[in-house]
């Protein structure tokens, strides 16, 4: 075979390999870049694996086939379709402009501070660091209390006997909680304990029988303004009445700056 022809074939094959490496798929000659596939997989929120990539690739193929068929049929030239596309485009831009306005200048410091003051008053009273052991029978709970009173290690017993899947592996540790965050029967017994004390009697709730240990307690302290600021901003911006008022404010600012003849 002619050496030039062989070289041309090798070069053509090389470019073809590179093209397929850079593209996720080619549909009727139209390449879809791998970057689009990567972005779709990332936006899916699922782990990046071959199955998820295959599903995302099929979505890209479906989308491209529809777009190509729309061009073939000339539907994009229909006035009704063009009107709908324009309405969708404007709707997307309106939302994007308002979102950007809210992000950069929509929520004022005064609004944030007012919201912080309203939230801060909720941090009153005490919070408690507690551990517990949950069992099915009162007799088992009484036996555990006797074992702890005799010097048994509460955390080791919790790991071995507690049926609470959320805390057993951590020695029964529930972390810092408030009396309002737990069922009433548990809270009532909990708040009567002193630091380091274990309940003398089993506590019955809808979940079973509890043995409670008070690790520590403290007065509640509100997070700082800076710590809560992102959540406060999101809370304010999600209020529909606030959104309506701010949208009107934004439009008024635009009209004031504009030359409307």
**pLDDT tens readout for residues 201-218:** 999 999 999 999 999 999
Angle at 82 between CA 81 and CA 85, to 5 degrees: 85
Q: Report d(CA 249, CA 238) in Å as an integer.
A: 16
Residue 61, pLDDT score? 92
**H or E element: which one contains 236?**
helix 225-237
Report the pLDDT value the prediction gives residue 105, as an integer from 0 to 100: 87
Kindly list the structural domains of the chain, giving each domain's residue range(s) and its CATH number in brackets, ordered by start.
Answer: 3-77 (no CATH), 94-118+231-257 (no CATH), 126-219 (3.10.50.40)
Contact 101, 246 (CB under 8 A): yes
What pTM did the predictor assign?
Answer: 0.54
CB 210 within 8 A of CB 131: no
Q: How far apart are CA 68 and CA 62, in angstroms?
A: 10
- The candidate with the shortest Cα–Cα distance to 171, out of 181, 180, 161, is 161
Query: How far apart (Å, rounded) are the C-alpha atoms in residues 51 and 198?
Result: 52
What distance lies between CA 160 and its chain's CA centroid? 33
Contact 160, 205 (CB under 8 A): no
Output the tens digit of pLDDT for each of the chain's 261 residues.
Answer: 555 554 444 444 444 444 446 888 999 999 999 998 888 888 888 888 989 899 989 999 999 999 999 999 999 899 999 999 999 999 999 999 999 999 888 899 999 999 999 998 888 889 999 999 999 999 999 999 999 999 999 999 999 999 999 999 999 999 999 998 999 999 999 999 999 999 999 999 999 999 999 999 999 888 899 999 999 999 999 999 999 999 999 999 999 999 988
Q: Supply φ then ψ for residue 248, to 5 degrees.
A: -60, -40
**235 and 115 Cβ atoms separated by less than 8 Å:** yes
Cα distances from 247 to residues 53, 63, 157, 231, in angstroms, run 40, 34, 59, 21
- Would you tell me the crossing angle of helices 79-101 and 240-257 to the nearest 10 degrees? 100
Q: Tell me the pLDDT tens digit for each residue of 146-165.
A: 999 999 999 999 999 999 99
Burial of 61 (0-12, 13-18, 19+ CB in 10 A): middle
pLDDT of residue 24: 85
d(CA 198, CA 172): 13
Q: Is 208 left (phi over 0), alpha (psi -120 to 50) or beta?
A: left
* Sign of the torsion formed by the C-alpha atoms of 108, 110, 115 and 120: positive
């Amino acid at each position: 075979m002619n050496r030039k022809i062989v070289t041309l074939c090798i070069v053509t094959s090389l470019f073809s390999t590179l093209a397929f490496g850079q593209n996720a798929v080619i549909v009727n000659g139209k390449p879809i870049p791998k970057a689009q596939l990567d972005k779709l997989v990332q936006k899916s929120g699922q782990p990046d694996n071959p199955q998820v990539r295959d599903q995302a690739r099929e979505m890209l193929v479906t989308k491209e086939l529809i777009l190509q068929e729309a061009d073939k049929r000339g539907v994009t030239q229909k006035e009704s379709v063009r009107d709908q596309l324009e309405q969708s485009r404007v709707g997307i831009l309106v939302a994007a402009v308002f979102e950007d306005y809210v992000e950069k200048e929509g929520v004022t410091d005064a609004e944030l501070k007012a919201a912080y003051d309203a939230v801060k008053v909720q941090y009153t009273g005490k919070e408690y660091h507690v551990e517990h052991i949950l069992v099915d029978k009162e007799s088992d709970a009484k036996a555990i209390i006797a074992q702890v009173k005799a010097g048994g290690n509460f955390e080791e017993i919790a790991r071995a006997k507690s049926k609470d899947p959320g805390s057993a592996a951590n020695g029964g540790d529930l972390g810092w909680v408030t009396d309002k965050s737990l069922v009433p029967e548990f809270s009532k017994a909990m708040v009567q304990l002193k630091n380091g004390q274990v309940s003398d009697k089993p506590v019955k709730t809808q979940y079973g029988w509890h043995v409670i240990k008070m690790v520590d307690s403290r007065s509640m302290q509100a997070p700082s303004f800076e710590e809560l600021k992102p959540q406060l901003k999101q809370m304010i911006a999600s209020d529909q009445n606030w959104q309506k008022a701010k949208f009107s404010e934004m439009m008024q600012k635009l009209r004031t700056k504009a030359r409307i003849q």
